[in-house]
Amino acid sequence: MGVSTSSPHSGVAVVTVDFPPVNALPVRGWYDLAGAVRAAGADPDVRCVVLTAAGRGFNAGVDIKEMQRADGHEALVGANQGCAEAFAAVYECEVPVVAAVAGFCLGGGIGLVGNADAIVASDDATFGLPELDRGALGAATHLARLVPQHLMRTLYYTSRTATAQELHRHGSVWEIVPRAGLLDAAVRLAAEIAAKDGTLIRLAKAAINGIDPVDVRRSYRFEQGFTFQANLLGVADRVRNTFGSKEKS
């Protein structure tokens, strides 16, 4: 359990997240993920990073149970800061990041894949932000990088999900494959990128980030302010407790 890094192909590092049962990451997990992605990108022998997950789905967001167990706002602040660091680590990684997504990609998972450079998905992958059903706000910044504006708003307000096939039609998912072949497909794409000159690929990543029309760090930080406001008003706890009750029933 945790975050691990492997190297199945020359120039490619695979960062794997494994937090059973649904990859809902605790505060420490977000920081560990950020550290692993940054370390892989800083390795001079690595020219592309694959971000993937073990188990039932890619990511179910933050560990809400950890938040419910904690007194005060420390867990909330920790989760928000940890998510911000993990999202930024993917975006700011010195080399391109390919997200390999199987099953569900929810909440914080959208923050990760929305900041990735390319996405390969399994044919059963779904993407969504159930934040309004979980007493939170955020990651619309990253969902907006995956789908057009009005679809983003509708998905956000309804907490619905979009399939890999739908995202493929919008051009944000590069390839859809059976789950069993997901990692191989992602590594294959990463290997094609890693075949480029290491210095040039780093310059290319910096150049593309430099012309991005949205400052993803600042945009996400703005969204986080409304999550804190919802918590101060008591709305977040009320909705989160309802989620917990539904889960038990």
In a domain, 192, yes or no: no
In a domain, 225, yes or no: yes
Which of residues 242 and 84 earns the better pLDDT score? 84
- The arithmetic mean of pLDDT across residues 161-189, rounded, is 98
pLDDT tens profile 146-173: 999 999 999 999 999 999 999 999 999 9
In a domain, 99, yes or no: yes
Residue 243, pLDDT above cutoff 80: no
| Token couple for 24 | 């809902």
In a domain, 221, yes or no: yes
Which residue range(s) make up the domain with 172?
A: 2-180+198-248
CATH number at residue 131: 3.90.226.10
Q: What is the rounded distance in angstroms from the CA atom of residue 57 to the CA atom of residue 75?
A: 23
Residue 68, pLDDT above cutoff 80: no
**Alpha helices, DSSP H, located in the chain:** 27-42, 64-69, 74-92, 108-114, 140-143, 149-158, 164-169, 182-194, 198-210, 216-232, 235-248
Task: Write down the pTM of the prediction.
Answer: 0.94
**Nearest CA among 149, 141, 71 for reference residue 107:** 141
In a domain, 112, yes or no: yes
In a domain, 190, yes or no: no
Q: What is the rounded distance in angstroms from the CA atom of residue 103 to the CA atom of residue 58?
A: 6
Distances (CA, A) of 76 to 81, 82, 240: 9, 10, 12
pLDDT value for 134: 86
pLDDT value for 231: 84
Give residue 81's pLDDT band: very low, low, confident or very high (50, 70, 90).
Answer: very high
Count of domains observed in the chain: 1
| Token couple for 210 | 């430099």
pLDDT tens profile 108-144: 999 999 999 999 999 999 999 999 998 889 999 999 9
Q: Map 54-96 to HEC letters.
A: CCCCCECCECHHHHHHCCCCHHHHHHHHHHHHHHHHHHHCCCC
Percent of the chain with pLDDT over 90: 82
In a domain, 207, yes or no: yes
In a domain, 111, yes or no: yes
- The arithmetic mean of pLDDT across residues 17-41, rounded, is 97
Give residue 241's pLDDT band: very low, low, confident or very high (50, 70, 90).
Answer: confident
Residue with tokens 């430099």: 210
pLDDT value for 242: 78
Residue 64, pLDDT above cutoff 60: yes
Average pLDDT, the chain: 93
Give residue 228's pLDDT band: very low, low, confident or very high (50, 70, 90).
Answer: confident
Residue 6, pLDDT above cutoff 70: yes
Question: Which residues in 134-157 are b (16+ Cβ under 10 Å) and which e?
Answer: bbbbbbbbbbbbbbeeebbeebbe
Give residue 186's pLDDT band: very low, low, confident or very high (50, 70, 90).
Answer: very high
Q: What is the rounded distance in angstroms from the CA atom of residue 102 to the CA atom of residue 199?
A: 31
pLDDT value for 89: 98
Q: Residue 205: is it exposed, middle or buried by C-beta count within 10 angstroms (0-12/13-18/19+)?
A: buried
